[in-house]
Structure 1
Amino acid sequence: MDFIVGGLAGVGAGFFSNPFDVVKTRMQLQGELRARGQHAVYYKNIPHAMYTIVKHDGLSALQKGLVPALWFQLFVNGVRLGIYQQADNYGLLRDEENNTKFANSLFFGSLAGMSGGLVGSPLQLVKTQLMSYSSKEIAVGTQHGHRGTLYALSRIYQKNGFFGLWRGAHGMMLRNSIGSASQIASFTVCKEWMDNNNIFQQSKYMSSFIASNVGAIVKTIALTPMDVIMTRLYNQGVDANGRGVLYGGIADCARKIIKTEGFLAFYKGMGPSYLRQAPHTVLLLVFWDMLKDLQNNVAIKM
C-alpha cells in the first residue's frame, strides 16, 4: 500500500508541473554543444518560452509528454516513496527519541531514488523525446518525431531492442539518487524540526507545505547539473548499434558541455526547473502526507 500511496501522490503532482517540464527540457537542449552567441535563442526566459511554444505549436504543446510523465510519476514515486516508507516502518530512519537520522534519511532517500530511476527510465526517455519535439522554426536538440507514447516505445524497441529502452538509465539513476536524497531528507528533517518546536502549526499540513518548499529549493540546486546531462543523453540520436551519436556517457557529456558551452551550461533551465520542482515537490509531499493519514485512518477503522 505504501507504494501505491507514493505513486498516486506523484501522479497528482505531475499533472500540474508538466508545462514547466516542457519549458525546462527545451531550454536545456537550446544551444547544445554550441558556444554562447553562436546559436539561435528561441527560448529567452520562462514567459517567452511558453509564449513561443503556444504560438508555434498550440496551447496543448505545453502538456507534451504528459502521458509518459504521469506513468513515470506513478512508477518512480511509487517505488522511491514506498521504499523510503518501508525503511521508516522497519525503524531504519529514526533514533531512540523517534527523531529522523539525517544520514540515514539521505542514504535511503538516495537508494530509493536510484531504484525508482531504474524502473522509470524508459518512460523518462520517451517523455524527454516527446517534450523536445516541435515545429522546425523553434526546434532544439535532436527531433525524433514520435506520434505518441506507445509509438515511441515500439519504435525504440524495434530499432534498438529491449535494452535500448534503458539507454541513459545510468544518468537517470544518478539524477534520481541525488534528487531524491536531497528532497526527502531536507523535507523530513525540516518538517520534523517545525513540528517539534511548534512552528507553523496553524493547520495540519502547514509544516508539510513549508518543508516541501525547502525541499524544492535544495533539490533544484543539487539536481540541475545532472538533469541537464540526463536530458542530453536521452534526447541524442543513436547509431545503428544503439550508441549515442553525441555523447558516450555521463562523463563524456559533462566534458563536452564544459568545453563548448562553459560551466554555467549545467544550470540551463534552472528557472523553469525550480518552477517545476516547487509545485511538484509541494504537491507530491503534501499529497503523500495526506494519503498516508488517510491510509492510517482506514487501517484504524478496520
Structure 2
Amino acid sequence: MEFLLGGVAAVGAGFCTNPLDVIKTRLQLQGELQARGMYTVHYKGFFHAFYAVAKADGVLALQKGLVPALWYQLCLNGVRLGTYDFAEKRGWTTNSAGQTSTPKCIVVGALAGCAGTLTGSPFYLVKTHLQSQAADSIAVGYQHAHTGCTSALWKIYQEHGILGLWRGAFGAMPRASIGSASQLLSFSLCKDYVGKYETFAKRPLLNTFVSSMVGGIVVTLCMTPFDVVMTRLYNQGTDVQGRGLLYQGVVDCFIKMWKTEGIHGFFKGFIPNYIRLGPHTVLCFVFWDSLRELRSKFMSRQHMEDGNVETVQT
C-alpha cells in the first residue's frame, strides 16, 4: 500500500508540473557542447521559453511527454517513497532515541532513489525524447522521431533490444542518489524541527508544506548539475550498436560540458528546475501525507468496526 500511495501522490504532482519539465528540458539542451555566444538562442529565458513553445508548436505542446512522465512518476516515487516509508516505519531512519538520523536517512534515501529511478528509467528515456521534440525553428538537442509513448518504447526495443530501454539508467544513479537523499533528508529534518512548535504541531498540512518547500530548495541546488547531465545522456542520438553519439557516460559528459560550456552549462534550466521541483515536492509530499492520513483513518475506523462486531457477538 505504501508503494501505491507514493506513486499516486507523485502522479498528481507530475500532471501539474509537466509543462515546467518541458521548459527545463529545452533549456538544458540549448547550446549543447557549444560555448556561450556561439549558438542560436531560441529560448531567451524561462518566460520566453513558454511563449516560444506555445507560438511554434501550440499550447498543448507544453504537455509533451505527459504520458511517459506520469508513468515515470508512478514507478519512481511508488518505489522511492514506498521504500522510504517502509524503512521509516521500521525505525531504519532514526537513532536509538527515536530522532531522525542524518546518515541513515542519506543511505535509505539514496538507495530508495536509485531503485525508483532504475524501475522507471524506460519512461524517463521516452519522456525526454518527446519533450525535446519541437518545430525546426526552436529545435534543440537531438530530435527523435517518435509519435507517442507506446510506439517509442516499441521502436527502441526493436532497434536496441531490452537493454536499450534502460540506456542512460546508470548515468541517472548519481542524480537519483543525491536528489532523493537531499530531498527526503531535508524534508524529514525540517518536519521534525518545525513540528516542535505548537503552530505546526496542530497543523500537520502546514508542517508538510513548509518542510517540502525547504526540501525543494535543497534538492534543486544539489541536483541541477546531475539533472542536466542526465537529460543530455538520455536525449543523445545513438549509432546502430546503441552507443551514444556525443557521450560515453557520466564522466565523459561532465568533462565535455566543462570544456565547452563551463560551469554555466551545469546550471542550465535552474530556474524552471526549481519552479518545477518546488511545487512538485510540495504537491508530492502533501498528497503523500494526505493519502497516508486517510489510510490511517480508514484503518482505525475499520478496526473499531471490527471491534464493535466482536463485542456484539460476545
In structure 2, how many angstroms separate the alpha carbons of the residues matched to 1:288 and 1:174?
25
* TM alignment of 1:80-229, pairs within 5 A: 80-201=80-201, 203-229=203-229
The runs of 5 or more residues in structure 1 that have no matched partner are none
In structure 1, how many angstroms separate the alpha carbons of the residues matched to 2:204 and 2:90?
25
Q: Write out per-residue CA displacement over residues 194-223 of structure 1, whole angstroms, 9 at most, x where no aligned residue.
A: 112335446331011011000000000000
CA shift, 1:300, in A, is 1.2
- The answer as to 2:221 corresponding to 1:235 is no
- The answer as to 2:47 corresponding to 1:54 is no
In structure 2, how many angstroms separate the alpha carbons of the residues matched to 1:123 and 1:18?
14
In structure 2, how many angstroms separate the alpha carbons of the residues matched to 1:139 and 1:202?
50
Partner amino acid for 1:104?
A: K
CA shift, 1:91, in A, is 1.4
CA shift, 1:96, in A, is 3.7
In structure 1, how many angstroms separate the alpha carbons of the residues matched to 2:225 and 2:235?
16
TM-score (norm 1): 0.98
120-129 vs 95-104, which moves further = 95-104
Runs of 4+ in 1 over 4 A off after TM superposition: none
In structure 1, how many angstroms separate the alpha carbons of the residues matched to 2:268 and 2:97?
43
Partner amino acid for 1:252?
A: D
In structure 2, how many angstroms separate the alpha carbons of the residues matched to 1:151 and 1:117?
22
- 2:312 maps to what in 1? none
- 1:288 maps to what in 2? 288
- 2:30 maps to what in 1? 30
In structure 2, how many angstroms separate the alpha carbons of the residues matched to 1:263 and 1:195?
38
Using the aligned pairs only, state the percent identity: 52
Greater CA radius of gyration, 1 or 2?
Answer: 2
- 1:8 maps to what in 2? 8
CA shift, 1:97, in A, is 3.6
CA shift, 1:145, in A, is 1.9
In structure 2, how many angstroms separate the alpha carbons of the residues matched to 1:171 and 1:178?
13
- 1:299 maps to what in 2? 299
CA shift, 1:131, in A, is 0.1
TM-score (norm 2): 0.94
CA shift, 1:177, in A, is 1.3
172-181 vs 43-52, which moves further = 172-181
In structure 2, how many angstroms separate the alpha carbons of the residues matched to 1:44 and 1:74?
33
SS in 2 for 1:268: coil
CA shift, 1:254, in A, is 0.4
In structure 2, how many angstroms separate the alpha carbons of the residues matched to 1:180 and 1:263?
23
CA shift, 1:88, in A, is 1.1
- How many residues align structurally? 302
Partner amino acid for 2:179?
A: G
Q: Write out per-residue CA displacement over residues 72-116 of structure 1, whole angstroms, 9 at most, x where no aligned residue.
A: 001100000011111112111123443211211111011000000
* TM alignment of 1:68-79, pairs within 5 A: 68-79=68-79
The runs of 5 or more residues in structure 2 that have no matched partner are 303-314
In structure 2, how many angstroms separate the alpha carbons of the residues matched to 1:42 and 1:274?
21
Partner amino acid for 1:17?
A: T
In structure 2, how many angstroms separate the alpha carbons of the residues matched to 1:174 and 1:198?
38
Partner amino acid for 1:109?
A: G
